[in-house]
Amino acid sequence: MVTNTAELIDSGEKRDRLGRKRTPRARQVELLEEYRWSGLTQAAFAKKAGINYTTFCSWVQVEAREQVGPVKFAQVQLPPASVLGEATQLEVRLPDGTSVRGNKPKELAVLVRALRS
């Protein structure tokens, strides 16, 4: 006769009501720091660390939003096109660090709208 024995080991990990492991925010920050230094892709790092990929992606997104802070707008008034001239370069820098340069304000506005959608 074969007897199976099971043992329940409490690792101390907190779990939500669905049984999913909860990672404290301090540990998330540590893992995100390790990820930045690892040189790995998000998928590779999550697999190596034993974290669900989509969960890890959400941590990265939350951290990015926290670093950007509230969006600030500034209304600017450009001089008339006749004053700017064709050689004048305008630059728009988006919160994510993307820079768009050109000399035609209307075309730049269209491009910025396209990038943000």
Q: What is the domain-level CATH number for residue 44?
A: 1.10.10
- 54: pLDDT confidence band, cut at 50, 70 and 90? very high
In-domain check, residue 8 = no
- For residues 53 and 42, is the Cβ–Cβ distance under 8 A? yes
| Number of domains observed in the structure of the chain | 2
Query: Has residue 30 got a pLDDT over 90?
Result: yes
> Is the model more confident about 29 or about 17?
29
Residues 56 and 20 in one domain: yes
In-domain check, residue 9 = no
pTM: 0.48
In-domain check, residue 111 = yes
In-domain check, residue 105 = yes
Q: What is the mean pLDDT of residues 75-96?
A: 71
Residues 85 and 64 in one domain: no
Residues 103 and 64 in one domain: no
Residues 28 and 60 in one domain: yes
Q: Looking at residue 74, what is its pLDDT?
A: 74
Query: Has residue 80 got a pLDDT over 80?
Result: no
Return the percent helix, strand and coil in the chain, to nearest 5.
Answer: 45, 10, 45
Q: Which residue range(s) make up the domain with 58?
A: 16-68
Query: Has residue 116 got a pLDDT over 60?
Result: yes
Q: What is the mean pLDDT of residues 75-92?
A: 70
Rounded CA separation 64/52 (Å): 19
In-domain check, residue 10 = no
In-domain check, residue 5 = no
